């Protein structure tokens, strides 16, 4: 380091066109390079760790991949142990899909209101509130779900109130800020000329929203929905508190169910590293990780479509 700086100064005096500030250049370059290396190494280490542990279920414990993905029975401590993870996979997908279905229209409508109907007040008052929602820890959502949503569902519908619907509602509230803020940014970034062009042809505000604003921003809106779904898919704590955690595919929205994340967090502490049960939990984590990659990939594709 020191030396290259001295060399830099020497050459500097030789030629007027040598780059000055060689030292800063190097410090900056090395520093950013080290940071990115640490980041890449961490990600690779996580992927490697999860993959090696998760795959050892199939390699050392001799569980069939197909059986794990499609099996209906989860009895890890039984004799013989059975690892069928379909109830968890089903629980994760159904809660996050349902949450996205509930939150997407709400989030998009809120974004339309904030950007198209009342841009002044909307951005000044509603946006901070929504950002605040995004900052609330998930245990608080779970707690509210447990003490408000579950009793409410119990009063209205058959069953104990816990289950897929309770989990989806909690998740929907949790991902609403994500979807809303991405949708708001997308709508606000729409070139003003397009809307003016539509108005100038005699379109009303709602005609313009339906025919120009929404179709044009659709890929970006979908990006927000997919990101929200990804967040819902990975959320453990809040869902675990309201879903009931029974390892079965429920027959209704009001029956106890379980998700990949809740299965992992509930059992991880009670298993011994290296056992088949422990490895099977890692396999669930591997499924989660793969799904996350798929979500990121979908978002990338949507973004590319957005930039055309």
Partner 1 sequence: MQAPAHTRALIEIDKLNLYYGTFHALKNVSMEIPEKAITAFIGPSGCGKSTLLRTLNRMNDMIAGTRIEGKIAIGGADIYSKEVDVETLRKKVGMVFQQPNPFPKSIYDNVAYGPRLHGISGRKQLDEIVETSLRSAALWEEVKDYLKRSALSLSGGQQQRLCIARALAVEPDVLLMDEATSALDPISTLKIEELAQELKDRYTIVMVTHNMHQAARVSNQTVFFLNGEVVEYAETEKLFSTPRDQRTEDYISGRFG
203 counts as binding partner 1 under rule CB under 8 A: yes
- Minimum CB separation from partner 1 for residue 141, in Å? 37
- Minimum CB separation from partner 1 for residue 223, in Å? 17
Angle 260-267/276-307 helices, nearest 10 degrees? 140
Name which of residues 91 to 120 contact partner 1 (CB under 8 A): 120
Please identify, using beta-carbon distances, which residue of 26 and 199 lies nearer to partner 1.
199
- Minimum CB separation from partner 1 for residue 199, in Å? 7
Please identify, using beta-carbon distances, which residue of 200 and 272 lies nearer to partner 1.
200
Please identify, using beta-carbon distances, which residue of 1 and 201 lies nearer to partner 1.
201
**Per rule CB under 8 A, count of chain residues that contact partner 1:** 19
200 counts as binding partner 1 under rule CB under 8 A: yes
Q: Quote the CA–CA distance of 13 and 26 in Å, as a whole number.
A: 19
196 counts as binding partner 1 under rule CB under 8 A: yes
307 counts as binding partner 1 under rule CB under 8 A: no
Considering only 101-109, 190-198, 272-280, 282-290, which stretch makes contact with partner 1 by CB under 8 A? 190-198
Specify the residue for token string 């729409």: 190
Please identify, using beta-carbon distances, which residue of 216 and 275 lies nearer to partner 1.
216
DSSP of 252-274, one letter per residue? Answer: STTS-B--HHHHHHHHGGGS-TT
Q: Quote the CA–CA distance of 19 and 38 in Å, as a whole number.
A: 29
Considering only 62-70, 203-211, 233-241, 253-261, which stretch makes contact with partner 1 by CB under 8 A? 203-211
Q: Quote the CA–CA distance of 49 and 94 in Å, as a whole number.
A: 28
- Minimum CB separation from partner 1 for residue 211, in Å? 7
Q: What angle do CA 95, 43, 35 make, to 5 degrees?
A: 130
267 counts as binding partner 1 under rule CB under 8 A: no
In 79-236, alpha helices (H): 86-112, 119-121, 127-135, 138-144, 150-156, 164-188, 192-200, 205-208, 214-234
- Minimum CB separation from partner 1 for residue 197, in Å? 4
Please identify, using beta-carbon distances, which residue of 133 and 214 lies nearer to partner 1.
214
Considering only 191-199, 222-230, 236-244, 285-293, which stretch makes contact with partner 1 by CB under 8 A? 191-199
Q: What separation in angstroms does the CA of 110 have from each of 114, 164, 184? A: 6, 25, 8
Question: Rg of the chain's alpha carbons, rounded to an integer?
Answer: 25
Q: What separation in angstroms does the CA of 64 have from each of 34, 48, 74, 84? A: 41, 21, 14, 10
Name which of residues 210 to 249 contact partner 1 (CB under 8 A): 211-212, 215-216
- Minimum CB separation from partner 1 for residue 209, in Å? 13
Cα distance from N-terminal residue to C-terminal residue, the chain: 44
Q: Quote the CA–CA distance of 146 and 169 in Å, as a whole number.
A: 11
Specify the residue for token string 């970034």: 189
Considering only 6-14, 80-88, 148-156, 187-195, which stretch makes contact with partner 1 by CB under 8 A? 187-195
> Which listed residue (43, 59, 65, 194) binds partner 1 by CB under 8 A?
194
| Residues lying near partner 1 in the complex (CB under 8 A) | 120, 191, 193-194, 196-204, 207, 211-212, 215-216, 308
């Amino acid at each position: 380091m020191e030396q290259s700086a001295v060399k830099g100064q020497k050459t500097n005096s030789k030629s007027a066109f040598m780059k000055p500030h060689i030292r800063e250049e190097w410090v900056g370059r090395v520093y950013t390079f080290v940071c990115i290396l640490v980041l890449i190494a961490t990600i690779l280490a996580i992927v490697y760790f999860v993959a090696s542990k998760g795959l050892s279920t199939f390699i050392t414990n001799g569980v069939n991949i197909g059986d794990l993905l499609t099996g209906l029975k989860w009895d890890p401590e039984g004799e013989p142990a059975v690892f069928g993870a379909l109830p968890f996979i089903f629980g994760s997908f159904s809660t996050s899909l349902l949450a996205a279905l509930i939150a997407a229209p709400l989030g998009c409508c809120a974004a339309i209101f904030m950007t198209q109907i009342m841009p002044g007040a909307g951005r000044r008052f509603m946006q901070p509130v929504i950002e605040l929602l995004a900052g609330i820890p998930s245990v608080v959502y779970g707690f509210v779900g447990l003490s408000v949503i579950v009793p409410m569902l119990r009063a209205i519908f058959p069953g104990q109130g816990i289950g897929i619907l309770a989990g989806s509602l909690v998740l929907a509230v949790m991902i609403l800020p994500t979807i809303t803020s991405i949708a708001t940014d997308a709508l606000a970034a729409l070139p003003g000329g397009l809307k003016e062009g539509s108005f100038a042809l005699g379109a009303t505000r709602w005609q313009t929203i339906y025919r120009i604003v929404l179709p044009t921003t659709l890929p970006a809106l979908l990006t927000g929905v997919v990101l929200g779904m990804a967040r819902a898919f990975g959320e453990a704590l809040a869902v675990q508190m309201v879903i009931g955690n029974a390892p079965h595919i429920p027959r209704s929205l009001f029956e106890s169910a379980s998700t990949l994340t809740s299965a992992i967090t509930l059992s991880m502490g009670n298993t011994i590293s290296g056992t088949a049960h422990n490895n099977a939990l890692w396999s669930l984590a591997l499924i989660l990780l793969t799904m996350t990659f798929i979500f990121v990939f979908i978002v990338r594709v949507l973004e590319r479509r957005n930039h055309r």
